[in-house]
Amino acid sequence: MRIAAYLGKRLLRALVLLLGVSVLTFVLAELAPGNFFDDMRLNPQISPKTLAGLRQQHGLDDPLPVRYGHWLRAVARGDLGYSFAYNSPVTPLLAVRARNTLLLAIPAMLIAWALAIPLGVWSASREGRWPDRVTSSATSFLVAVPDLLLALGGLMLAVRTRWFPVGGMEAAGATGTGDLARHLVLPVTILVLSALPLLVRHVRSAMLEVLEAPFIQAARGHGIPRTELLYRHALPAAANPLTSLLGFSIATLLSGSLLVEVIMSWPGLGPLLLEAVLGRDLYVVIGSVMLSTLFLLTGMFAADVLLYTLDPRIRRPS
């Protein structure tokens, strides 16, 4: 299969999924009671005529299909709508917050995979022995701990010990990357602890299956050193399911980062989305959901490209 056809199919599926998510988000927002301007009715200084004009200005009185069509045409121009609460376009608001979220999620993903691969390989190569039992017990414990509890525990540690800064991306008056790095340590650590156990388990499972394969047994018989056998022969053979897992790990880290951002007061998409939902800021909610979906699809698309590169069976004409 040619790469253009293979990636073209993946892109088409991604576009259909984005379209479906946008429709579902609009429908759910329509079913939710009230809107941003309803709370203004309680203010005696704002006349009903002014509220009616604001609703008409932002198209809230139009039928849902009409509003969705207007939004789609605006998205084609790079405009995700208008924020009622911030009185500004949604796109620049999301651009800044998305950068901050990626600044948190990308290092966490890289560190989690960098730890998960050697831990999973080490555990699988010692199946049934004490290193495997210790690793399995530790991952089981971390899986059982909710992300919320991890984040609250990290926050309590920062408040009690003052080892880490609490909240924000930098201290008042601070400059340079050193202060930003200090603010990153705790939320990134929480995200890594949240994602690591499942990744380690998947790596271990994939490696155990490969280590029982006949070609690995033959390689052992030829006296190939253990480290070379594990990392040069077994790990590449186990790479396919792990590559597929890459896209889903991005989704897991993204959803976890939104929670951590809220608790740790990190100025990313999480607090913005929470404020928008509570304030019924319609287009900020829709834009945040669409951007989160786009991050997930980007990770899955990257995994598809890696699979195409690594697995000759996909490139073989059907």
> What pLDDT digit, counting tens, does each position of 132-183 carry?
888 888 888 888 888 888 888 888 888 888 787 777 776 555 555 667 788 8
pLDDT value for 114: 92
- pTM (2 decimals)? 0.80
**Residues 111 and 244 both lie in one domain:** yes
* Same structural domain, 188 and 252: yes
Tell whether 135 and 68 lie within a shared domain.
no
Mean pLDDT of the chain: 81
User: Residues 135, 80: one domain?
Assistant: no
Domain end residue (candidates: 90, 124, 149):
90
- C-beta of residue 273 within 8 angstroms of C-beta of residue 206: no
When comparing pLDDT for 250 and 199, which is higher?
Answer: 199
| Cβ neighbour number for residue 178 with a 10 Å cutoff | 9
Tell me, what CATH number does 232's domain have?
1.10.3720.10
**E strand map for 114-218:** none
Predicted pLDDT at 312? 66
The verdict on 80 and 96 lying in the same domain is no
Domain extent at residue 240: 91-315
Rounded mean pLDDT, 241-252: 75
For residues 236 and 287, give the distance between their C-alpha atoms in angstroms, rounded to a whole number.
Answer: 39
CA pair distance 101, 188, nearest whole angstrom: 11
Instruction: Determine the pLDDT at residue 237.
Output: 79
Structurally, the chain folds into a number of domains equal to 2
Question: Looking at the structure, do residues 77 and 165 belong to the same domain, yes or no?
Answer: no
Same structural domain, 154 and 28: no
Domain ends where: 67, 90, 113?
90
* pLDDT tens track for 63-112: 888 888 888 888 888 888 888 888 888 888 898 888 888 888 889 989 99
Please report which confidence band the pLDDT of residue 209 belongs to, taking 50, 70 and 90 as the band edges. Answer: confident
Q: Are residues 260 and 218 in the same domain?
A: yes
Alpha-carbon span 116 to 13, nearest angstrom: 30
What angle is formed at CA 81 by the lines to CA 80 and CA 86, rounded to 5 degrees?
Answer: 115
- Residue 217 half-sphere exposure toward CB, CA atoms < 13 A: 4
Last residue of a domain, one of 90, 120, 144: 90
Most confident of 12-16, 44-48, 279-283: 12-16
DSSP 82: E
Q: Three-state DSSP class for 117?
A: helix
State whether 197 and 208 are in the same domain: yes
Q: At 316, is the pLDDT very low, low, confident or very high (cuts 50, 70, 90)? A: low
CB 246 within 8 A of CB 203: no
Q: Which of 227, 40, 19 is nearest to 125 (CA)?
A: 227
